[in-house]
Amino acid sequence: MAKILEVIDLCKTYITNKRQNNVLRNVSFSVDEGEMTVSGMDSMTAGTVLFGGRDISALKPTELAELRLDEMGFIFQQMYMLKNLSVLDNIILPARQSKVNPLSTKEKLERGKELMRRLGIIEIADNDINEVSGGQLQRACICRSMINKPKMIFADEPTGALNRQSSNEVMEELCKINADGTTIMLVTHDAKVAAKCSRVLYIVDGNIQGEYNLDGTDERTKERTLNNWLLEQGW
């Protein structure tokens, strides 16, 4: 299977109060197309990141912005949306901004509605973002991340602000998206969420301490086997 993301000796350092904080230290891994892994919006201190074979560190700011818009989807713990737009208008906004999306304005609107139907939230299309639940809003964020048919979705603690029921619903949707062929890379502190993935990268103090492959594991035993492995890692 082809690699969609390859990270080589990646380092990221922040300076806080004149103290150096190394959040990533020579991290290396790759992600295959169609994979769902726990593990580009920030600049790197050192190392190489290849997305679809392109070295993103060599891209100009405008080129990187276009890559993020057209080929990547993003889901965050905090569900950032524009308050002056309806839920549907927020979802289709990246499609309107894209210079390469071939759909007409009407087709973009229909794609947004179809994504909302798929995730079971079409009834809130015309609502303001403060008129819906957290679970509904996060599913709307998933719709937005998919509007330009990205090659890969990056999800940063996508269930962190949700209750357990909403968390389960959101993860079910992400699993369906992944099963349909979209590659997903997800960051989480929740073992239940991690157990939904096919591969787990366990990071401690900026280093990948271990890697666990859940692909092919029986659904009923995924969480138990992952928990046992995490305990062995000192989690």
- In tens, the pLDDT along 20-31 reads 777 788 889 999
Q: From residue 63, how far is each of 21, 58, 93, 166 by CA, in Å? A: 29, 10, 19, 36
Mean pLDDT within 109-133: 95
Q: Tell me the pTM.
A: 0.88
Quote the pLDDT of residue 217: 82
Quote the pLDDT of residue 235: 87
- pLDDT tens for 45-60 read 888 999 999 999 889 9
Pairing of strands 199-204, 36-38: parallel
Mean pLDDT within 172-189: 92
CB neighbours of residue 171 within 10 Å: 22
Residues 6+ apart with CB under 8 A from 81: 87, 90, 129, 137, 140, 141, 144
Percent of the chain's residues with pLDDT above 90: 70
- pLDDT tens for 103-114 read 999 999 999 999
Q: From residue 112, how far is each of 26, 83, 91, 141, 142 by CA, in Å? A: 39, 18, 6, 11, 11
CB neighbours of residue 76 within 10 Å: 17
Superfamily of domain 3-232: P-loop containing nucleotide triphosphate hydrolases (3.40.50.300)
Mean pLDDT within 139-144: 95
